[in-house]
Amino acid sequence: MTDSSIDRLDRAILHELQLDGRLTNAALAERVNLSESACLRRVRGLEEAGYLRGYVGLVDQSLAGYPDNVFVRITLHSQQQDDLAAFEARARELPEVMECYLMSGDADYLLRVIVADARDYERIHSQYLTRLPGVARVHSSFALRTVAKKTEVPVR
């Protein structure tokens, strides 16, 4: 399966599975107007091609004890490949770091960190973030409110 082989039915399948990854094959087939066997073949093809990387349950972070998001811009002392790799490996290990992006611009990384409150963030900041390999500066911003948070990727 290549990019050019993704058609209207594949996009419909991806859309439905992003809305509800627990759909049975029978329910999915009905929603996209395919036979069950044709639907299953397409889903397996999408999985093999990497369009579907896995199936997860989305946990409400507030109910899990992490109501706050902190966006953290981190600048390293050096941008050598070994230094970037060391930082990234350690950042991946921190359970509260939900996202980590290598950035262009004035900071090297942007992290989304989930926390219980300001005191919890102070702990994470002092015990973990400032001790990550190569950290020169840490700039933090608390999100006041989530305006939009999507899980569905539009498929072209």
The predicted structure's pLDDT at residue 156: 86
- In the chain, the number of structural domains is 2
The predicted structure's pLDDT at residue 5: 79
Do 79 and 28 belong to one domain? no
Q: What is the mean pLDDT of residues 127-133?
A: 97
Say whether pLDDT at 4 is over 60. no
pLDDT in tens, 62-110: 999 999 999 999 999 999 999 999 999 999 999 999 999 999 999 999 9
User: Can you say whether the dihedral through the CA atoms of 83, 88, 89, 91 is positive or negative?
Assistant: positive
Could you give the CA distance from residue 125 to residue 132 in angstroms, rounded to a whole number? 10
Output the average pLDDT for the chain.
96
**One-letter amino acid identity for 4?**
S
The predicted structure's pLDDT at residue 144: 97
Give residue 17's domain range.
3-48
Q: Does residue 154 form part of some domain?
A: no
Q: Domain containing 116 — which CATH number?
A: 3.30.70.920
Q: Which of 85, 129, 131, 133 is nearest to 110 (CA)?
A: 129
pLDDT band at 59 (very low <50, low <70, confident <90, very high): very high
Do 73 and 130 belong to one domain? yes
Which residues sit opposite 138 in a β-bridge? 74
Q: Does residue 58 form part of some domain?
A: no
The predicted structure's pLDDT at residue 35: 98
Do 39 and 76 belong to one domain? no
